[in-house]
Structures are given as C-alpha cells and as structure tokens.
Amino acid sequence: MSQRAPSLVLAVPRALLCALLHLLFLPLLSLLLLHRLSSPLLRTRRREILLPPSPQRSCSSVPLLVCVSSKMTTMESLIGLVNRIQRACTVLGDHGGGDGGALPTLWEALPSVAVVGGQSSGKSSVLESIVGRDFLPRGSGIVTRRPLVLQLHKTEEGQAEYAEFLHVPKRRFTDFSAIRKEIQDETDRMTGKTKQISPVPIHLSIYSPNVVNLTLIDLPGLTKVAVEEQPESIVQDIENMVRSYVEKPNCIILAISPANQDIATSDAIKLAREVDPTGERTFGVLTKLDLMDKGTNALDVLEGRAYRLQHPWVGIVNRSQADINKNVDMMAARRREREYFATSPDYGHLANKMGSEYLAKLLSRHLENVIRSRIPSITSLINKTIDELESELNHLGRPIAVDAGAQLYTILELCRAFDRIFKEHLDGGRPGGDRIYGVFDIQLPAALKKLPFDRHLSLENVRKVISEADGYQPHLIAPEQGYRRLIESSLNYFRGPTEASVDAVHFVLKELVRKSIGETEELKRFPSLQAELAAASYEALERFREDSRKTTLRLVDMESSYLTVDFFRRLPQEIERGGNPAISNVDRYAEAHFRRIGSNVSSYIGMVSQTLRNSIPKAVVHCQVREAKRSLLVHFYTLVGKKEGKQLAQLLDEDPALMERRLQCAKRLELYKNARDEIDSVSWAR
C-alpha cells in the first residue's frame, strides 16, 4: 500500500498537466493559423485554389500567369471547337455552298478564313510560310482542285511535328512530302485525273510548335482560261465555288495579290469587293514585294491609300522559284523575310507589321474574336435546327423492323389509322360526310322531280294505254288493267334516280377513301401499302354498292308488286262528295274520264315517290355507309394475315426519296447534336 501510493499520486497530476497544455496551446495555434491565412499573398493563393478565374474576371484580379494561361486555353478552345465542328460537317455530308439540298447547313454558320487568289498570286507560298513547311502540291495550271481545310494546332516546344488527314484518321504523317502526295491522291480519288474540281473539302490538321492556332481554307486559284482536259465552264465553276465560301457573312477573306501587278487587276480583290464592299471581312496580302521593279514600291497599297480595307494590309516575301528548287528551309526563308523588311528602306518603318509570322498571329487573333462573337448566334441556330430536324424525323417516321411479326403489326396499325380517319369523315369529325346527306336531301328529290310523269300521264298516252289494256272488250266500270299498266310503267322511272343515288354515295365514299389515305401521315412513307389499301377499299365499296343497288331496286319492285289498294278505294268517294256532274257529250265524257285516270295515277305515283324518297336513303346508308364503317378492311385484314414475310416487306417498301431524306436528316441531326455537345464541353461556354 505504501509502495503504490506514490505512483497513483504522480499519475493524477500528469493527466491534469496534459489537459492544461491542450487548453492553453490550441487557441494559440488557431490564432497563429488565422494570422497566416490573413496575409495578402496567402489570400491570393487561396482564391486561386478555391475560385478558378472565370472568363468574366479581369486580368488584374488574378496573377498574370493565370490570366495568360486562361487566354491561351480560351483561344485554343475556340478555334479547336470550330475545327472539330468543321470535321464533323465534312464527315456527315455538310459541305456548305448549297450542298445538301434543302437541309440546313452548319458549315456556313462557322467562322472561317478563306484564302483567295489567282493562280500566279503566290497563294500556296503564303500558306507554306504560315506553316513553315513545304507540303502543298505545285505545278502548272489548276493545282488546288478541292478546298483544303488547313487546321493548325500549336504544340509545346520540342515536340515533333506531324499531320493527320480526316479521311485517314489513324495515320500520322511526319514526312511532309508524303502529305503533298496524299493531297494529290485524295483529290484524284474524288475528281479523277481529269482536272475537274469538287466542292468536298480535304481536312488536314498540322501539329507543330512553329504555328499558331489557326484554320485556313485554301480554295482553288481563280483563273481566266481553261487548260487542256478541262471544260470551258471551269473558269466559272471555280469562281462559283470560291464565291459560295466568301459570300457568307461569317467568312473572313484572305485576298492575296502579287505586288508586281496592278492591284486594280487583282482577281482576289475584285471578288472580295463584290461580296464585301465595305472591306470589314477582308484582309489584304501583298506578295512578291521583292520582285517589283527597281525604284518602285507598294507603300500606297500597304498603307491603305490605293485600296482601303478595314484591316491592315500585310506584305509577304516568299521564297523564289530558285529557293524552292534548292529546297531552301522554310525557317531560313522566314529569317530572310524578317531581314528583308527590317533592312528595307521602303518598308523598314512597317517591319513589325509585315511578314508571314505577323500575318498568322493577326489572323489567329481576329478569328478567335469573330468566333467568340458568333458563338451565341451559332448556339441559337443549333438549338433551333435540332428542334426542326427532330420534328421532321418524327413526321417521316422510324425505319421499319425486319421481322415479319413487327411488319404485320405495323401494317395493321397503319390500316387502323386510316380507318379511324375515314370514320371521322363520315361521322362529321372531318369534312366530307355531309356530301352524302346532300345526295339524299338535294340530288334525290331533284331527280324525282324531273321524272317525265307529265308526258307519261298525258291524255293521249293514258287513252292509248287504257285502250290497249282493254283489248276488244272495253272495261265496264274501272279500267283496272289500264291502271296497273300505267302505274307499273310509271314506277319504272324510279329506277334511274335510285341507281343514281347509289352511285353518288359510292363516289363520295371512294373520294373519302382517297382523301383519308392522303391524310394518314404514317401511310405517306409506303406507296405500295397505299396502293394495296386503296384497291382493297375500292373493292369493298364496290361490293357494298352492288348490295345497295339490289336492295334499293328491290324497294322499287316491291311498289310494283303490290299496289296500295286503299288509296284507290278512297278515290270514288271523293269524286262523289265533290259532286262531279255527268257530262252528256260522249267525247267530252271520254276525255274527262281519261283525265281522271291520269290524275289518279299521278296522285298514286306521288305517294310512292314520297315513300321511296324516305326509304332509299335508309337502304343506301344501311348497305353502303354502315358497311363501310363496319367492314371496309375486313377482307383486306384476312389477306394480309396470310402473307409471308417477303410479301409484307414489299408492302412496306418506302419511297426511295423519303428514305434518303430520313437518312440525310438523321446525319444532319447527328451533326448538330455533336456541335451542341462540343460547345457545351468548352469551359468558357458554361
């Protein structure tokens, strides 16, 4: 007990001491940490970590390095965005220039730099100077026969240069002479070796530390004369192709003209002036400054006095043909160009704004600014067009399944859709059914009224019929046989209006079938099924008409088969009550007698006419209209159910033009959705 007491006593103070130390030092450490965090440098760094700079923040609010990095990323994102969308356009068939029929084009909405110049303007040399490599085909005549979309991507210093073609996606070209050959081969694959031109572009991406981020479209050189193996229309064809690019409001025109020719004769400037009269989209490039006659210079052009543009003119000194033949390095050519302007007595004061390197940077900055300003309108166009294309595809319908069960189901669904619309016409949901009522309410009464009963029941005809019916023994009291003959012959006249009513309703029903097929949107895709459906419907209507004709004529025959005797039994009483006096004169008595017979028959025929006017519509509706609503396609359903898969597929053969339209709409919709995704993926657009 005495030995354990000291250890227990020491243990308690040690625990208390640890607790006191925690209580004292933790607040001190917290204060020190807060003080450190409150220092300006740490506050700035903390903001950089927690709040990455947004595009709206000014450069003064973040460190310079962060701001410069943000600008570089934005430029790469903007130009790279357009590059990716342009490649998608080419893959999915949108080449601009009116290509694609009535389909909307995204290509024309994308900002681009089109390189325009005559064949001897030095256009190819300018492009190679910007890239810093020999890679374009050279030769006499028209060398560029397809648009070349040249997409330049700046890489880190020290990385190897390489190129990729869109049509050869898995191959990297490091030999630039192989690039030249591939451009020639791909051109020949599309146009053949006949010197023809094609609007389908070739996409070439070059990755190099010696370029700026820029996209250029090299167009065929403008020419005035067709060369051998080219049609006479080639001059106008090339101009039309170039014009289709440069006339678009989002196209930046790089107009290249040689300095050793009068600027007034420049093909590029002439075309640029036509499509961009204010010069706000045109950059002027003057080549071959070193080839001008001694004692002359191009200052009037370069300083904007000879031809003013909204953007500065840029002078270029290309390699000479001797340099090209000697394979002078492009980097050496760039150095020589810089030295030329720096030491030139004429252009020395403009040296910092001359040369291919300055031109590339100028175009890159301007293209980036144009893209940024156009992004909202491009986004709006993309969203609007996606809605329109989706609506059209819904209207065109989906592709048909290949198995027989699904095909049969599709056919039955289409038939039901047609049948529903046909019934709506009859029941009043759609116009057309009222025409059947018009047959009964207007056409039938008018036809009955026009029947020639006045002529048939004239005095002469009544006397003739009665006399012939009596034979050699005249009637004693009432000429019953004569009455019957007059009535039966009169009733025959009702057959015409009866059949006309049946035919009129049949015509209306056929017209409603034709109209209903046309109004069934789903059926428009399948002309074969439309034809089969129409034929089956017309065949059914023909059966209904025949049944209706028999039924209505039977009504007429029934009136002839059994006369309404009570009608005639009332007639003598009415005559007696009328007090008709006896006429002594035999001729006048005979005439009045026949007139009374004709009048009696006419009254009876009038009663029958009213009866038929009420019963014929009932029979027609029962036999034709009602049956058309109930069983128009019953026989067709039976036939379709017996068809094999191949026969069903034939019924669902679509119009080739419609199939092509659906395919093109689907490809164009894919393009616009890809473009929307590309824009959404860029951080600055969020």
pLDDT of residue 597: 76
pLDDT of residue 15: 43
pLDDT of residue 47: 33
Q: Could you tell me if 308 and 453 lie in one domain? A: no
pLDDT surpassing 80 at residue 113:
yes
610: tokens are 């009213």
Q: Checking DSSP bridges between strand 202-208 and strand 162-165, what pairing results, if any?
A: antiparallel
Whole-angstrom distance, CA of residue 100 vs CA of residue 94: 6
pLDDT surpassing 70 at residue 371:
yes
Domains in the chain: how many in total?
A: 2
For residue 638, give every residue at least 6 positions away whose Cβ sits within 8 Å of its Cβ, in sequence order, or none. none
In a domain, 319, yes or no: yes
pTM of the model: 0.61
| Residue 511: Cβ within 10 Å count | 13
Among 351, 385, 419, residue at a domain's last position: 385
| Confidence category of residue 43, pLDDT binned at 50, 70, 90 | very low
Query: Poorest-confidence range of 100-104, 146-150, 473-477, 665-669?
Result: 473-477
* Mean pLDDT, residues 482-496 taken together: 81
**CA 651 to chain centroid:** 26
| Confidence category of residue 90, pLDDT binned at 50, 70, 90 | confident
Write down the residue that tokens 């986004």 correspond to: 379
* Mean pLDDT, residues 65-80 taken together: 51
pLDDT surpassing 90 at residue 408:
no
The number of residues making up the chain comes to 686
Q: Could you tell me if 149 and 269 lie in one domain? A: yes
* Mean pLDDT, residues 68-92 taken together: 68
Residues 81, 82, 86, 87, CA torsion sign: negative
pLDDT of residue 114: 94
Return mean pLDDT, the chain.
Answer: 80
pLDDT in tens, 3-31: 444 443 444 444 444 444 444 444 444 44
pLDDT of residue 30: 47
pLDDT of residue 234: 85
Among 385, 416, 439, residue at a domain's last position: 385
Does 40 or 457 have the greater pLDDT score? 457
pLDDT of residue 462: 73
Q: Could you tell me if 366 and 479 lie in one domain? A: no
pLDDT surpassing 80 at residue 194:
no
Among 334, 350, 385, residue at a domain's last position: 385
In a domain, 591, yes or no: yes
pLDDT surpassing 50 at residue 262:
yes
pLDDT in tens, 548-589: 999 999 998 888 878 777 776 676 554 444 444 444 444 444
Please, how many CA atoms are within 13 Å of residue 622, restricted to the half-sphere of its CB? 12
Whole-angstrom distance, CA of residue 161 vs CA of residue 174: 6
In a domain, 5, yes or no: no
Nearest CA-CA partner of 268 in 301, 228, 230: 301
Q: Could you tell me if 414 and 380 lie in one domain? A: no
Which domain covers residue 238, as residue numbers?
79-385
Does 469 or 330 have the greater pLDDT score? 330
Task: Give the CATH number of the domain where residue 200 resides.
Answer: 3.40.50.300
Sheet with 314-315: list strands edge to edge. Answer: 168-173, 162-165, 202-208, 148-154, 214-218, 112-117, 251-258, 282-287, 314-315
Does 643 or 113 have the greater pLDDT score? 113
φ, ψ of residue 205 to 5 degrees: the values are: -110, 130
Q: Could you tell me if 430 and 514 lie in one domain? A: yes
In a domain, 396, yes or no: no
Does 550 or 643 have the greater pLDDT score? 550
In a domain, 370, yes or no: yes
* Mean pLDDT, residues 145-167 taken together: 91
Query: Poorest-confidence range of 35-49, 397-411, 646-660, 669-683?
Result: 35-49
Q: Could you tell me if 357 and 256 lie in one domain? A: yes
Using DSSP, how many helices (H) and how many strands (E) does the chain show?
A: 25, 9
pLDDT of residue 638: 87
pLDDT of residue 533: 93
| Confidence category of residue 422, pLDDT binned at 50, 70, 90 | very high
Angle of CA points 652, 653, 654, to nearest 5°: 105
pLDDT in tens, 282-305: 999 999 998 888 889 999 999 999
User: Are the C-beta atoms of residues 616 and 501 closer than 8 Å to each other?
Assistant: yes
pLDDT surpassing 80 at residue 147:
yes
Q: Could you tell me if 381 and 408 lie in one domain? A: no
Q: Could you tell me if 329 and 444 lie in one domain? A: no
In a domain, 470, yes or no: yes
For residue 629, give every residue at least 6 positions away whose Cβ sits within 8 Å of its Cβ, in sequence order, or none. 423, 426
For residue 285, give every residue at least 6 positions away whose Cβ sits within 8 Å of its Cβ, in sequence order, or none. 126, 254, 255, 256, 257, 313, 314, 315, 316, 359
Task: Give the CATH number of the domain where residue 481 resides.
Answer: 1.20.120.1240
243: tokens are 């014009």
pLDDT in tens, 94-105: 766 544 456 788
| Confidence category of residue 492, pLDDT binned at 50, 70, 90 | confident
3-state secondary structure of 217: strand
DSSP label at residue 230: S
Q: Could you tell me if 180 and 226 lie in one domain? A: yes
Q: Could you tell me if 197 and 284 lie in one domain? A: yes
Whole-angstrom distance, CA of residue 486 vs CA of residue 484: 5
In a domain, 17, yes or no: no
| Confidence category of residue 527, pLDDT binned at 50, 70, 90 | confident
For residue 216, give every residue at least 6 positions away whose Cβ sits within 8 Å of its Cβ, in sequence order, or none. 113, 114, 115, 127, 130, 149, 150, 152, 254, 363
For residue 87, give every residue at least 6 positions away whose Cβ sits within 8 Å of its Cβ, in sequence order, or none. 151, 166, 203
pLDDT surpassing 80 at residue 611:
yes
User: Are the C-beta atoms of residues 197 and 237 closer than 8 Å to each other?
Assistant: yes
Q: Could you tell me if 138 and 252 lie in one domain? A: yes
Query: Poorest-confidence range of 95-109, 366-380, 634-648?
Result: 95-109
In a domain, 57, yes or no: no
pLDDT surpassing 70 at residue 467:
no
Q: Could you tell me if 376 and 427 lie in one domain? A: no
